[in-house]
Chain A
């Protein structure tokens, strides 16, 4: 049973009071009883001494009637049960017995009432009786004794009476004092405590109520301390709220708050049957800024963009920083797509406004994905995912574009998710297969190696192009396991061919940015050791995206790979984050011109210029060049005339599976194909 503090205190006080007063009462009653008994004894003694004093004459004079008078008078005294004068032999000379006394009555019923000595004997030792005796002496001669019995009945009655009275008084006092103390306690302690409790509960609910702190006692101190604590909690809560809901760098609402606002907006829009838009903004090439100008400048750019975006939006709109270089704008009440487009244009313009940072003029672009409620989703997650999807779509198009999420995107999204799931199983279930596309030396048209290509044979969808599933694998991280499998399979195949006496040439294996981060050199060293593959048998095709990561780490890894004897090839040169400084910083052995530059040859003047420039540059650096996607003789002739070192494409040979490539290799070795040897490509 739960008791309140007031009840516990009152009960405790009552118990203490009861204990103290009961002890006091018992002591008092005990003392009073002892005093009363002492008085009885003293009275008995007084009577006894008096009788002893006046009896000698009567005894000597045989005045028994006088003695009777004495005993009768004595026995007539209150509480006296009997008075007997006996001679030295104990024979009663005079006696008076109070027959009405209950004790006497009981004894008389049992004993011979006429036999005084026997009666006295039975009364001897009765705890309800004080028995005294006094010698009657005359001239040093004992004439007899005066025996007097005093009843304790009155004493006990008085004791009980006093006990009852004291108990009643005690009870009244306890009740009164307990009530009074309870009232005082209630007013001075409980009320303030209850106020503190209520205030504490308010604080728990987020209402920072201060309590009154007037008194200068402990309760006043407690109240003041509570108030100080409440204010501090309030400050901390505001701070935490700020930290939890606002981005520390830009001061804008953060992801959590953005999602919360979207949820609220969904409820509101649902009620009022309105549309609103979620604009997912991702800065383009923000990493370049960070890498080239430093993170401090990058932060400054983000702050500036946040401010500009905030200025560009309507008052009812909300901009939040999701993290990194991502922002989201929540725009309620978007009446039409046109309004959304207008807002998107303002946002793009705001972001791309030139900003002077660290003494340099910086222009940032962004990609914006737009998802509208309820067209593109009914939940926060759906809207965010679709906006994000649209943003990625926009990013793939060009800088500074905004894309509305479409149903097709949704389908693609679902397909992508399905593919992701299928890809998880593809490796385990043997759906992946290596293909090999031969590479030929331009001058001699001799086979010198092959690019390892990955094919996915989906049981339902058929063969899925690597252009579709490789980006997905890189995005999901599955590329690590797949890339490792490709490496091992390639090494196994080379080793098998070599062990079979077939000269496989070199194998050019594409490695992803993600594999590079996982200390690729160590893994390759393991595989090369396992399959006894010389370094020059392997070529790693690395895309420019790899070079966007930590340069020192990239340089170190490339150095390790080079030290292992591997050939390093810069793939899809000119298509991505090309920077000529990379050629200077990172030593590559081969450049692979992307097929997009080859397709227009020899008629497309731009492609001609670019290819010539690349070839010239490569020659200057001493780097060999491979042209991908050679599909006709004109292209081949042009490239050969320009001094391109190697070619690859459907004109020369299509990608083939391992078995087919094995046959190809055997044919080459057999001379069916022009004899090949491993050309030094360094």
Chain B
């Protein structure tokens, strides 16, 4: 005769509970996973890695603290590396320039834009030296125009190129030079290394530029219409709620002391709302400069 023990009853329930737990884990795993994995925030190499880290780590910490989830700041050594990460959608949150956004619009959704020095738009400018005698863009034919960073620079290359195109100067009608960044382009112009320099209108007022040169010796030759400033985007695959949370946090920065500190640290004055169509003017310029595919060659 088989005697049923208490031990046998308990084990059965434990087994059931364990199964139940497994099922629950299976169901909840993605959520949990999602809740545990840090968000990656990429910032384009507008500045060097060290500075980028210094400027934006507070924001990452801020977001992480508010989201209850770690936000990891990821920097890139150069534009190529950054773009690769963008195209691979490595970033959950990304801050880059307008051209980069336009190119990644399919995979990233803009949620905010940067405001710097109280401005959220910036025009693309062609600068010349006051003593250069250049008063028309057309006078730049055969001369050297220096652009800040590379061909993916919205304000330092695309916008000024647009101005040149508008004046009838195509690639080849002038010599091109690229500085490592827009500030250096202006400095190069100051030191007569070029006849004109392209950059955003804010560059001339930047302290680093003012400290390096006498900006009074430069003047604006031509300017585009103001363009919305640098976008903040999230992966389109991000949960809407999360995306929204992130957007709110960014837009709300100025409303708290901590947020203000974060803005200050990032050398921003505010973040404003942005959506895709806000960057249509940028798209038009890009197409005009690069062609229908809008890709720099």
Which A residues have a C-beta under 8 Å from some C-beta of B?
Answer: 58, 61-66, 68, 87, 91-94, 114
CB distance from B216 to the nearest CB of A (A): 11
Known A-B contacts A92-B191, A93-B193; the reply to A62 vs B212 at CB < 8 A is: no
CB distance from B60 to the nearest CB of A (A): 26
CB distance from A63 to the nearest CB of B (A): 4
Q: Kindly list chain A residues whose C-beta atoms are within 8 Å of the C-beta of B212.
A: 64-65, 68
Does B269 have its Cβ within 8 Å of any Cβ on chain A? no
Q: Kindly list chain A residues whose C-beta atoms are within 8 Å of the C-beta of B180.
A: 58, 61-63, 66
Does B185 have its Cβ within 8 Å of any Cβ on chain A? yes
- Partner pick for A62 among B178, B192, B208, B214, CB 8 A cutoff: B178
**B102-146 toward A: CB 8 Å interface, digit per residue (1/0)?**
000000000000000000000000000000000000000000001
Known A-B contacts A62-B177, A63-B179, A65-B212; the reply to A93 vs B184 at CB < 8 A is: no
Does B234 have its Cβ within 8 Å of any Cβ on chain A? no
Docked pose: A114 CA to B214 CA in angstroms: 10
CB distance from B167 to the nearest CB of A (A): 23
Number of A-B residue pairs having CB atoms within 8 Å of each other in the complex? 44
State whether B187 touches A64 (Cβ < 8 A): yes
The secondary-structure label for the interface of chain A is: mixed
State whether B192 touches A64 (Cβ < 8 A): no
State whether A87 touches B183 (Cβ < 8 A): no
State whether A65 touches B183 (Cβ < 8 A): yes
Residue of A nearest to B48 (CB): A66
Interface centre among B177, B185, B191 (most CB of A within 10 A): B191
The secondary-structure label for the interface of chain B is: mixed
Interface centre among A58, A62, A64, A66 (most CB of B within 10 A): A62
Does B227 have its Cβ within 8 Å of any Cβ on chain A? no
**B265-283 toward A: CB 8 Å interface, digit per residue (1/0)?**
0000000000000000000
Q: Kindly list chain B residues whose C-beta atoms are within 8 Å of the C-beta of A66.
A: 180, 184
Does B188 have its Cβ within 8 Å of any Cβ on chain A? yes
What is the total number of residues of chain B having a CB less than 8 Å from a CB of chain A? 17
The residues in B between 1 and 27 inclusive whose CB is less than 8 angstroms from any CB of A are none
Docked pose: A114 CA to B213 CA in angstroms: 11
The residues in B between 221 and 261 inclusive whose CB is less than 8 angstroms from any CB of A are none
Docked pose: A91 CA to B193 CA in angstroms: 9
- Partner pick for A61 among B179, B191, B214, CB 8 A cutoff: B179
CB distance from A432 to the nearest CB of B (A): 140
Residue of A nearest to B179 (CB): A62
State whether A64 touches B191 (Cβ < 8 A): yes
Q: Kindly list chain A residues whose C-beta atoms are within 8 Å of the C-beta of B193.
A: 62, 64, 87, 93
Docked pose: A114 CA to B217 CA in angstroms: 12
Q: Kindly list chain A residues whose C-beta atoms are within 8 Å of the C-beta of B208.
A: 65
Q: Kindly list chain A residues whose C-beta atoms are within 8 Å of the C-beta of B185.
A: 62
Q: Kindly list chain A residues whose C-beta atoms are within 8 Å of the C-beta of B183.
A: 65
Q: Kindly list chain B residues whose C-beta atoms are within 8 Å of the C-beta of A62.
A: 146, 177-180, 184-185, 187-188, 193
State whether B184 touches A63 (Cβ < 8 A): yes
The residues in B between 144 and 178 inclusive whose CB is less than 8 angstroms from any CB of A are 146, 177-178
A-B contact pairs, 29 of them (CB 8 A): A61-B178, A61-B179, A61-B180, A61-B184, A62-B146, A62-B178, A62-B179, A62-B184, A62-B185, A62-B187, A62-B188, A62-B193, A63-B179, A63-B180, A63-B181, A63-B184, A64-B179, A64-B184, A64-B191, A64-B212, A65-B181, A65-B184, A65-B187, A66-B180, A68-B212, A87-B193, A92-B191, A94-B191, A114-B214
Q: Kindly list chain B residues whose C-beta atoms are within 8 Å of the C-beta of A92.
A: 191
Residue of B nearest to A62 (CB): B179
**B176-210 toward A: CB 8 Å interface, digit per residue (1/0)?**
01111101110110011100000000000000100
Q: Kindly list chain A residues whose C-beta atoms are within 8 Å of the C-beta of B188.
A: 62, 64
State whether A91 touches B192 (Cβ < 8 A): yes
Q: Kindly list chain B residues whose C-beta atoms are within 8 Å of the C-beta of A91.
A: 191-192
Q: Kindly list chain B residues whose C-beta atoms are within 8 Å of the C-beta of A114.
A: 214
CB distance from A66 to the nearest CB of B (A): 7
Interface centre among B179, B184, B188, B208 (most CB of A within 10 A): B184
Those 6 A-B pairs whose CB atoms lie nearest each other, nearest first: A62-B179, A64-B187, A63-B180, A62-B188, A61-B180, A64-B184
Docked pose: A91 CA to B190 CA in angstroms: 11
Q: A62-B193, A63-B181, A65-B184 are in contact. List 16 more A-B contacts (CB 8 A).
A: A58-B180, A61-B184, A62-B146, A62-B187, A62-B188, A64-B179, A64-B184, A64-B188, A64-B191, A64-B212, A68-B212, A87-B193, A91-B192, A92-B191, A94-B191, A114-B214
CB distance from B242 to the nearest CB of A (A): 38
Q: Kindly list chain A residues whose C-beta atoms are within 8 Å of the C-beta of B191.
A: 64, 91-94
Interface centre among A65, A66, A91 (most CB of B within 10 A): A65
Docked pose: A65 CA to B183 CA in angstroms: 8
Residue of A nearest to B211 (CB): A68
Docked pose: A31 CA to B177 CA in angstroms: 51
Q: Kindly list chain A residues whose C-beta atoms are within 8 Å of the C-beta of B178.
A: 61-62
Docked pose: A92 CA to B187 CA in angstroms: 11
CB distance from B237 to the nearest CB of A (A): 37
CB distance from B145 to the nearest CB of A (A): 12
CB distance from A59 to the nearest CB of B (A): 9
Docked pose: A94 CA to B213 CA in angstroms: 10
Docked pose: A92 CA to B188 CA in angstroms: 11
